[in-house]
Structure 1
């Protein structure tokens, strides 16, 4: 890591800034302030130590940096639908469907949890809070750092942990049938928790989450996987899938607007006239809030080093209004192109509701009706998995329009097509190939 200037913030601003961050419902004036249920000093220390831990991770060698970035990419919730679902389905249909169901339900729950718990992200908190001047911290952002939603709990850990649970239990059962060794039987679960640990550390490394958010995501993910595995619905009527999709969408929207009606600023909406505040509560005009990008030093891999121009981007006065997470991400992300619409909560809801509809259409298609009682051989499984991965990756790489309505519409169609491709189309195509014939599926 290149040497660079640290950043200093007047300590007196820390408590007042943390109050605004940890208690989002606190108004700008004393008349409408509500008591915060947290210890401000304890939370401030927790966030500060999380930032120092992230700095320690970022001092590692280049090969370790590449490893962390690959881990955060592998555990992207999108990979549940594009990678893990098709792989699991062609190994075992029941396990594959469980991966999809648990993945979309846990992602929906993660969106709701983030709305209720809020949660800061390190890449913006180090600026918004007014970090202590006792430490000089040198941090870097990466193209995957600038996520726009609230940070607690970690979606990468929670959703991946829940969705992979059926695969782990299936591998454990398989190991138990072929070995009496306790170590062999426990290997899938050991690998599972090591993977989640690596994913969690990668999220801290890129400044997307604090350690306590990662830990909460791991625990919630494992618990959800254990609880939901036995609740995966078998084949149902098409109306069940349509009703479930609609229920997921309407319940989330209903919760959102109910919290808004109750006065909870669920998006941390900024006051239109508010500017940045320095440690002495001096307002910085909006046009001066962004640090000139030409003053930000670049690291060896063209990522940006944080800390050089914090003096121009400091805020945290007691009169500051609440900030929405999208605003914060846009404000403190060092490159605008690193902010993606697919990290927004409603993008996740679009993906989940579309996947339910797609699964319903797939299980009621004529292709699936011809294959539902057949058990493919290992050659058909391998070819099917390869074709499904290639097809889903191609669909996933389709460039989407910039118009927000068209973006969500195309995103819905894309994720609705994924289950149909995996469950209906690809198995039907593989059946036509001159491979080992399928055998009747034993009950």
Structure 2
């Protein structure tokens, strides 16, 4: 009965996706751009380094919501076992007699993880909630009260979520209900992290937390296997039904996601509790110092996108991904602020 109900939801959604693709056929590049810009990885490679360099308090919150959103999203994807439109149309028996609907695949369609909830919607909802909240706080606007500025800000936030969801549905990577679910959970994660004291966690706490994130993911994996469910079923579906094999990328697999959020959390913790970070925090950063830190942090994170990990073995691939994601946050959280603070002190000394 549940299966029949979901088939009905999926079938109606497929009709909407086909209609959307035909109606906005000339806007495909815009949809690709939106889907790419709001990729969850940019929470780690774009929002985190830039926001931390400009505002350490907001930056820490961004890093926390990025990690917790991706972790909870990956766990929920395994548990909920959600289909993706581009492979569901081939696997279902709904179209046995009527023929396949007109649903296109694109170069960014073939993600390999399960479809529910949408990671794009979930991480975007979390990260932008913190951004909007920080912007209102800096403008001394109480978002809990009826205020025009707050209303406009949260309306803008809603539009962003709607546009991102629309782009994910357009490329046939998600069904609409998966994007809606991702947005709701993302808001919940952000609200929890927003009220959480993340400043007092020790190095041991971060290491324990990183191990906990990894252990919980693996426990979910092992539990599902014990129940006779293959957590990697979606990878086989992607490889089977993606129009072109080269469209399928390993950096969208569930295990790569684990390496990203576990590594990032550990690297963030090591950086925040390091002597370099503590030394830099004693220096009052000027606007120029913040801009320099932002440029350097963004450059390092952008350069990391060009690192192609060779597929010598799966162990080597995922271990390298873990190491890279430990080094990146440590670099922009500890090393870059320390270096900029020292250069500033030397410059002031010479000018005297």
- TM-score, reference length from structure 1: 0.73
Select the structure of larger CA radius of gyration. Answer: 1
Runs of 4+ in 1 over 6 A off after TM superposition: 178-181, 435-438
Q: CA RMSD in A?
A: 2.4
Shift in Å, 1:432 = 4.3
Task: Provide the secondary structure at the position in 2 that maps to 1:137.
Answer: coil
Cα gap change, 1:427/1:248 in structure 2, threshold over 3 Å: closer, same or farther? Answer: same
Aligned counterparts of 2:252 and 2:215: Cα–Cα separation in 1 = 20
Shift in Å, 1:433 = 4.5
Note if contact 1:86-1:389 (Cα within 8 Å) is conserved in structure 2.
yes
Note if contact 1:367-1:424 (Cα within 8 Å) is conserved in structure 2.
yes
- TM-score, reference length from structure 2: 0.91
Note if contact 2:210-2:262 (Cα within 8 Å) is conserved in structure 1.
yes
Aligned with residue 412 of structure 1, among 322, 329, 332: 322
- Report the equivalent of 1:225: 190
Shift in Å, 1:255 = 2.0
Cα gap change, 1:178/1:204 in structure 2, threshold over 3 Å: closer, same or farther? Answer: closer
Aligned with residue 124 of structure 1, among 66, 84, 87: 87
Say whether 1:154 aligns with 2:118.
yes
Task: Provide the secondary structure at the position in 1 that maps to 2:108.
Answer: coil
Note if contact 1:154-1:214 (Cα within 8 Å) is conserved in structure 2.
yes
Say whether 1:90 aligns with 2:53.
yes
Aligned counterparts of 1:225 and 1:111: Cα–Cα separation in 2 = 16
How big is each residue's C-alpha offset from its partner over 1:2-32, in whole Å with a ceiling of 9 and x where there is no partner? xxxxxxxxxxxxxxxxxxxxxxxxxxxxxxx
Aligned with residue 214 of structure 1, among 149, 154, 179: 179
Say whether 1:175 aligns with 2:85.
no
Shift in Å, 1:423 = 1.0
Aligned counterparts of 1:178 and 1:213: Cα–Cα separation in 2 = 32
- Report the equivalent of 1:72: 35
Shift in Å, 1:104 = 0.6
Shift in Å, 1:397 = 1.6
- Report the equivalent of 2:109: 145
Cα gap change, 1:412/1:384 in structure 2, threshold over 3 Å: closer, same or farther? Answer: same
Q: Which stretch has the larger CA shift, 383-392 or 372-381?
A: 372-381
Shift in Å, 1:337 = 0.9
Structure 2 unpaired stretches of 5+: none
Cα gap change, 1:234/1:55 in structure 2, threshold over 3 Å: closer, same or farther? Answer: same
Say whether 1:394 aligns with 2:303.
yes
Say whether 1:341 aligns with 2:250.
yes
How big is each residue's C-alpha offset from its partner over 1:147-180, in whole Å with a ceiling of 9 and x where there is no partner? 1111111111112211332211111222345999
Cα gap change, 1:192/1:339 in structure 2, threshold over 3 Å: closer, same or farther? Answer: same
Structure 1 unpaired stretches of 5+: 1-35, 269-323, 439-443
Aligned with residue 274 of structure 2, among 365, 386, 390: 365
Aligned counterparts of 1:144 and 1:250: Cα–Cα separation in 2 = 30
- Report the equivalent of 1:252: 217
Number of matched residues? 345
Task: Provide the secondary structure at the position in 1 that maps to 2:307.
Answer: coil
Shift in Å, 1:110 = 0.9
**Structure with greater proportional helix content:** 2
Aligned counterparts of 2:88 and 2:297: Cα–Cα separation in 1 = 40
The equivalences for 1:420-439 within 5 A come to 420-433=330-343
How big is each residue's C-alpha offset from its partner over 1:119-162, in whole Å with a ceiling of 9 and x where there is no partner? 10000001110344558732211111111111111111112211
